[in-house]
Structure 1
Amino acid sequence: MSVRVSLVAAARGSALLAERFDDDRPLDEAGWHAVRFAAPALMSLGDAELRYCSPTPRSRATGRALGFHPLVQPALRDCDMGRWRGCTLADVTAREPAAVDAWLADPRAAPHGGEPLLAFITRIGGWLDTRPACDGAIVAVAEPAVVRAALVYALKAPPSSYWNVDVGPLSTVTLTGLPRRWSLRLETGVR
């Protein structure tokens, strides 16, 4: 029996240029507004048999605001960015440009002392592959980075493609399949 997993990117907790690694800030005003606007289109996902979210405040708040009442899944946490946690990419680039270049170029590199990109993608893939088969669907609200990692894993794309996947707040993607055999399902706006 195949599994249907819909991933919803959490609403924003800060302006794009103010985003920080391992950000644990709650939804900002624009994020709350966006959730209220998107809720009618996303609420039906809450009918899923299993509903999860990553442990961040904004993922939990997004899931609750959409009426999902999700269970927190520690495996859906964002990538561990080590000493870069709480910093913006601009901050880190100004202080450690060679380290940032190494991190962007090599998915096994962890110059920040945290989790390498390849390990992050593998962890998220492991979560996907251990979802129970169910007649219904599964929905998970997670950080955009988690959604990107899930897509790279499911499509068996090279880890470097992670940087080419743009996941905006409240974006939704559905994966169907079995462990290690996933397909990307694109939905039409017509139902």
Structure 2
Amino acid sequence: MNSVNTRPQRLIIGISGASGAIYGVRLLELLRDTPIETHLVVSKSALITVAHETGLSLSDLKPMASVCYANQDIGAAIASGSFKTLGMIVAPCSMRSMSEIASGVTSTLLTRAADVVLKERRRLALMVRETPLHRNHLRTMTDLTELGAIIAPPVPAFYALPKTLDEMVDHSLGRVLDLFDIELGIVRRWRENDTGTGASSDTGPADDDHAAS
């Protein structure tokens, strides 16, 4: 009987130049001790943002990932659809990277890898970081949604009653990992432990609008 080779679960992590570098850094930390292989690519602009916001350099990021690629390496494994992955998370995702991915005219490994994920019909989650948004931003997000991408801005979930910024970051990342069916126990889920009494011991109060209706 022939044995079946079991491929490792691989997840591509892209860090682009938007503010919010902690999302990409923390994502690597959370996945480091799991069976999931993380394949990291960091844009040139992201290196500046990572250094400014976290004090880390590329040499600090590399050990956090299973594999790290140069953003100019368009011949890397993640540039090919034959390299099987669960998909890709871009955390954070800049407007420039988002626009390149939407157009299909990709000039870096980060955006090429995202394009590959889309063409292979795998899951692509973009943690876009920009506000306010103008018409072209919104139209680009619509185009990407129609292509199959998921626009997942890191919006704080105040119903989880976070006490620190770290808890807010972890919750946002946990919700994005939910899209890949990856459970790390970092999401405080609404009414998951509700006993049916109308109250939940581990969540915030009900929405006032709903309560009043």
- Pick the TM interval, shorter chain: 0.3 to 0.5
Higher relative contact order (CA 8 A, sep 6+): 1
Task: Mark the structure with the bigger radius of gyration.
Answer: 2
TM-score, scaled to structure 2? 0.31
